[in-house]
């Protein structure tokens, strides 16, 4: 088992190296990257949306923006087929499809003045193609932002029994004393625990229990980092402080935010958090990128780097020492480990391997959302075309490494029965990852289980918030483009940044409170990958029209169209059998928009090139 873990992690790293060394170079040559060419960030620098960024800051922003909950939750759900299918698709898919998708859309958007994929499609696929893609993207982004807002709120308000996190047991008398104190706004009785996390006493199953408020630390961390972000923005973009100093300050801020969280955890109700997060994304979407969005992502991503590093190191140490057998959650030899291959269980819980594995794994391998980030905020800040590969391709591979780490963490930290129970019966994949991370950290570094669990929550929260703020900004960009398409001269209010921001954030807030959202999300899961297929098709047409080879994007586009049509078709048939007409309609609309785009793209690719530019 130890050798297997080491083999997997080393194998994945070697594959990434080969991908970066050879395939990224091939893609760069195919695109015709020109280092001397001025990018829109420099040419149109307006100090607001178009701002040339240093490559390490832009990489941090791009990675934080593209890596949401997908690479954590997706692999967790997909391991129901066993760890091997998930592992293979995460590594191969990222190298041959996901990385290419992100790099190519970033490059093309940079060549097209930082325009979005939808706006580029308007020129290359025509008005019908544009309407299909932009309506798909706008509605998809509303769903994504609302879902991520809810995920964020769930993480920030999560609790778990303190004893199960390895914290010291509390006497019944102490709990009883706490229970007699007045409850707070959440119905919890504050309780002082001698070690570890902030806690509160509540009644569970008729018994008083001490619950660790694991979300409270992340809450304080989020608030602290957000408040400090403008300061770092001033340092990086105005005072132009050196990179080492920026990293050092960001690391100190991160560490301080976690320590402050342990001392002063913020505990508020989900609705209050929902409101606060909405207020934050309004600011992050409307004010200049350098002031809040970019520096906040830069600070937050240090936690993500540290977490990722800790997990990878933990897996390696576990592999070398072979101490994973001691983990209480996975007593190897007693409990069954997660198998390499188990199609039967996968079929039972999710569906047939193809297409469902590829949809369930979400953005661990390829994601359409990434094209929005690439052609939205990132392309407007790329200071040189030669950075397109470093930022676009490499960050996708880093996201893939995150997904691999999550798979291995679960393999070490949870046994098969517990995995199935927590992930599918209790429907809480986030908890499964957090508990497995807790076990891993305990094993590898000898730290208490609760530290790993908090790390898991901090990671998830960091990824979700940094994706949420960017997604709202991207949606604002898209709406601004839509108004310009619909109206020859849009009214002043439709051109207003604040109006469009408020519209995006307002709809997101309303949708997030709906019980309808989780149901609709079942259908929109495959929409993310379909978005990716559409972007690859636009890229193929663009490359062909510019006289460049396009097979390396066309083949992934065909694969992803086939997969997403199959999964959406399956969902349509299932809902049709249940006479669930709203969901049948949603599936039909998705297939229609996807099929129309595929038809237009295919017709154009079969016709002679229309544009021939350098």
Partner 1 sequence: MLKLVLLKLLAVFFCMAPALAQEQVAIVRKGGLLVFLPGVGGPDTYGTYFVPNALGRDSLDRFQYLGNPLQINFLPPSELPSDFPQMNEAEKLEEFFRTESRHMTKAFGKQIDFNNFENIRCDGTDCLSATTVLDDSGPEKMELRLTARVAGEGILHAAYQNLNPETTAETQSMAEKLLSSFKFVPRPLTPDELAAISQKARE
- Can you tell me which residue has the tokens 């990293």? 247
Strand stretches in 332-475, DSSP E: none
CB burial readout 350-377, b (16+ within 10 A) else e: bbeeebbbbbbbbbbbbbbbbbbbbbbb
| Total chain residues near partner 1 (CB under 8 A) | 43
Residue 187 as a binder of partner 1 (CB under 8 A): the answer is yes
- Can you tell me which residue has the tokens 């295919």? 602
Q: What part of residues 92-151 is at the interface with partner 1 (CB under 8 A)? A: 127-128, 131, 134-135, 138-139, 142
- 3-class secondary structure, 97: helix
Residue 581 as a binder of partner 1 (CB under 8 A): the answer is yes
Nearest distance from residue 580's CB to partner 1, in Å? 6
- 3-class secondary structure, 515: coil
Q: Say how far apart CA 19 and CA 159 lie, in whole Å.
A: 41
Residue 183 as a binder of partner 1 (CB under 8 A): the answer is yes
Nearest distance from residue 568's CB to partner 1, in Å? 16
Nearest distance from residue 271's CB to partner 1, in Å? 8
- How is residue 169 annotated by DSSP? P
Q: For residues 467 and 575, which CB has a smaller minimum distance to partner 1 in the complex?
A: 575
Q: For residues 498 and 581, which CB has a smaller minimum distance to partner 1 in the complex?
A: 581
Q: For residues 138 and 398, which CB has a smaller minimum distance to partner 1 in the complex?
A: 138
Q: What part of residues 490-529 is at the interface with partner 1 (CB under 8 A)? A: 503, 507, 509-511, 513-520, 522
189-191 and 207-212 strand pairing: unpaired
Give the range of 235-243, 273-281, 392-400, 573-581 binding partner 1 by CB under 8 A.
573-581
Q: Say how far apart CA 426 and CA 102 lie, in whole Å.
A: 34
Residue 44 class from Cβ within 10 Å (0-12 exposed, 13-18 middle, 19+ buried)? middle
Residue 612 class from Cβ within 10 Å (0-12 exposed, 13-18 middle, 19+ buried)? exposed
Nearest distance from residue 515's CB to partner 1, in Å? 4
Nearest distance from residue 105's CB to partner 1, in Å? 22
Q: For residues 182 and 608, which CB has a smaller minimum distance to partner 1 in the complex?
A: 182
Nearest distance from residue 571's CB to partner 1, in Å? 12
Q: Which residues contact 98 (CB under 8 A, 6 or more apart)?
A: 363, 365, 366, 367, 370, 396, 399, 400
Q: For residues 299 and 517, which CB has a smaller minimum distance to partner 1 in the complex?
A: 517
- 3-class secondary structure, 191: strand
Binding mask of the shown chain, residues 28 to 67, with x at each position contacting partner 1 by CB under 8 A: ----------------------------------------
* Ranges of H-type helices in 546-580: 551-577
* Closest to 86 (Cα-Cα) out of 340, 309, 307, 315: 340
Q: Can you tell me which of 36, 171, 185, 425 binds partner 1, judged by CB under 8 A? A: 185
Residue 573 as a binder of partner 1 (CB under 8 A): the answer is no
Give the range of 103-111, 240-248, 311-319, 481-489 binding partner 1 by CB under 8 A.
481-489
Nearest distance from residue 582's CB to partner 1, in Å? 5
Q: For residues 237 and 509, which CB has a smaller minimum distance to partner 1 in the complex?
A: 509
Nearest distance from residue 530's CB to partner 1, in Å? 17
- Can you tell me which residue has the tokens 């921001």? 501
Q: Can you tell me which of 36, 425, 579, 612 binds partner 1, judged by CB under 8 A? A: 579
Nearest distance from residue 507's CB to partner 1, in Å? 5
Are the C-beta atoms of residues 457 and 215 closer than 8 Å to each other?
yes
Give the range of 299-307, 373-381, 385-393, 574-582 binding partner 1 by CB under 8 A.
574-582
Q: Can you tell me which of 121, 200, 482, 527 binds partner 1, judged by CB under 8 A? A: 482
* Ranges of H-type helices in 287-375: 293-321, 343-349, 353-360, 369-373
Nearest distance from residue 436's CB to partner 1, in Å? 21
From residue 14, how far is each of 67, 223, 318, 390 by CA, in Å? 22, 38, 20, 17
From residue 240, how far is each of 234, 236, 243, 534 by CA, in Å? 8, 5, 9, 39
- Can you tell me which residue has the tokens 């390895």? 166
Largest Cα separation within the chain, whole Å, is 82
Q: What part of residues 585-614 is at the interface with partner 1 (CB under 8 A)? A: 585
Nearest distance from residue 260's CB to partner 1, in Å? 27
Binding mask of the shown chain, residues 376 to 415, with x at each position contacting partner 1 by CB under 8 A: ----------------------------------------
Cis link prior to 355 (omega < 30° from 0)?
A: yes
Q: Say how far apart CA 286 and CA 501 lie, in whole Å.
A: 6
Residue 341 as a binder of partner 1 (CB under 8 A): the answer is no
Q: Can you tell me which of 359, 583, 587, 598 binds partner 1, judged by CB under 8 A? A: 583
Nearest distance from residue 404's CB to partner 1, in Å? 32
Structure tokens at 608: 């002679």
Nearest distance from residue 346's CB to partner 1, in Å? 21
From residue 65, how far is each of 58, 116, 302, 349 by CA, in Å? 10, 16, 13, 30
Q: Can you tell me which of 485, 496, 549, 570 binds partner 1, judged by CB under 8 A? A: 485
Q: Which long-range contacts (CB under 8 A, 24 or more apart) does 587-592 make?
A: 587/523, 590/136, 590/523, 590/524, 590/526, 590/527, 590/530, 591/565
Are the C-beta atoms of residues 157 and 270 closer than 8 Å to each other?
yes
Nearest distance from residue 585's CB to partner 1, in Å? 8
Binding mask of the shown chain, residues 241 to 280, with x at each position contacting partner 1 by CB under 8 A: ----------------------------xx----------
Q: For residues 3 and 203, which CB has a smaller minimum distance to partner 1 in the complex?
A: 203
Residue 176 as a binder of partner 1 (CB under 8 A): the answer is no
Binding mask of the shown chain, residues 280 to 319, with x at each position contacting partner 1 by CB under 8 A: ----------------------------------------
From residue 546, how far is each of 24, 32, 124, 325, 542 by CA, in Å? 20, 10, 11, 57, 6
Q: What part of residues 189-248 is at the interface with partner 1 (CB under 8 A)? A: 202-206
Nearest distance from residue 535's CB to partner 1, in Å? 19
Positions touching partner 1 (CB under 8 A) are: 127-128, 131, 134-135, 138-139, 142, 183, 185-187, 202-206, 269-270, 482, 485-486, 503, 507, 509-511, 513-520, 522, 578-583, 585
């Amino acid at each position: 088992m130890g050798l297997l873990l080491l083999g997997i992690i080393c194998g994945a790293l070697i594959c990434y190296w080969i991908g970066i060394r050879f395939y990224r170079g091939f893609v760069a040559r195919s695109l015709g990257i020109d280092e001397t060419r001025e990018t829109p960030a420099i040419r149109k620098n307006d100090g607001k949306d178009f701002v040339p960024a240093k490559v390490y800051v832009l990489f941090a922003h791009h990675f934080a923006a593209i890596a949401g909950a997908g690479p954590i939750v997706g692999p967790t759900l997909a391991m129901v087929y066993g760890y091997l299918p998930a592992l293979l698709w995460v590594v191969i898919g990222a190298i041959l499809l996901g990385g290419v998708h992100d790099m190519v859309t970033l490059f093309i958007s940079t060549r097209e003045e930082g325009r979005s994929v939808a706006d580029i499609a308007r020129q290359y696929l025509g008005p019908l193609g544009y309407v299909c893609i932009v309506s798909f993207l706008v509605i998809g982004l509303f769903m994504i932002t609302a879902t991520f807002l809810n995920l964020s709120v769930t993480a920030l308000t999560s609790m778990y029994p303190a004893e199960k996190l390895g914290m010291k047991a509390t006497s019944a008398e102490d709990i009883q004393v706490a229970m007699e104190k007045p409850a707070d706004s959440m119905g919890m009785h504050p309780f002082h625990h001698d070690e570890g996390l902030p806690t509160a006493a509540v009644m569970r199953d008729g018994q008083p229990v001490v619950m660790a408020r694991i979300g409270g630390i992340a809450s304080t961390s989020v608030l602290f980092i957000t408040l400090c972000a403008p300061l770092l923005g001033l340092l990086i973009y105005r005072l132009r402080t050196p990179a080492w100093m920026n990293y050092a300050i960001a690391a100190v801020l991160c560490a301080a935010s976690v320590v402050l969280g342990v001392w002063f955890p913020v505990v508020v109700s989900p609705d209050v958090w929902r409101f606060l997060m909405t207020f934050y994304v309004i600011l992050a979407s409307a004010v200049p990128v350098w002031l809040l969005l970019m520096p906040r992502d830069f600070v937050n991503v240090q936690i993500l780097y540290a977490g990722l590093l800790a997990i990878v190191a933990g897996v390696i140490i576990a592999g070398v020492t072979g101490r994973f057998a001691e983990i209480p959650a996975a007593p190897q030899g007693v409990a069954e480990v997660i198998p390499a291959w188990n199609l039967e269980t996968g079929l039972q819980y999710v569906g047939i391997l193809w297409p469902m594995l590829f949809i369930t794994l979400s953005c661990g391998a390829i994601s359409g959302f990434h094209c929005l980030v690439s052609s939205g905020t990132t392309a407007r800040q790329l200071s040189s075309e030669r950075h397109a590969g470093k930022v676009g391709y490499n960050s996708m591979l880093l996201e893939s490494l995150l997904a691999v780490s999550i798979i291995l963490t679960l393999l070490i930290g949870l046994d098969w029965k517990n995995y199935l129970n927590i992930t599918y019966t209790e429907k809480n994949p986030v908890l499964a990852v957090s508990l497995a991370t807790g076990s891993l950290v305990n094993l590898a570094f000898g730290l208490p289980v609760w530290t790993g669990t908090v790390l898991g929550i901090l990671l998830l929260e960091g990824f979700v918030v940094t994706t949420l703020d960017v997604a709202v900004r991207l949606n604002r960009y898209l709406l601004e483009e839509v108004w310009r398409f619909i109206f020859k001269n849009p009214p002043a209010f439709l051109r207003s940044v604040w109006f469009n921001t408020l519209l995006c954030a307002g709809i997101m807030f309303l949708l997030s409170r709906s019980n309808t959202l989780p149901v609709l999300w079942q259908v929109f899961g495959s929409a993310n990958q379909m978005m990716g297929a559409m972007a690859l098709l636009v890229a193929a047409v663009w490359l062909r029209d510019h006289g460049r080879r396009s097979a390396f994007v066309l083949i992934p586009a065909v694969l992803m169209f086939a997969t997403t049509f199959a999964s959406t078709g399956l969902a349509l048939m299932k809902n049709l059998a249940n006479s669930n007409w709203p969901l049948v309609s949603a599936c039909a609309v998705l297939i229609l928009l996807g099929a129309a785009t595929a038809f237009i793209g295919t017709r154009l690719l079969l016709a002679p090139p229309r544009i021939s530019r350098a």
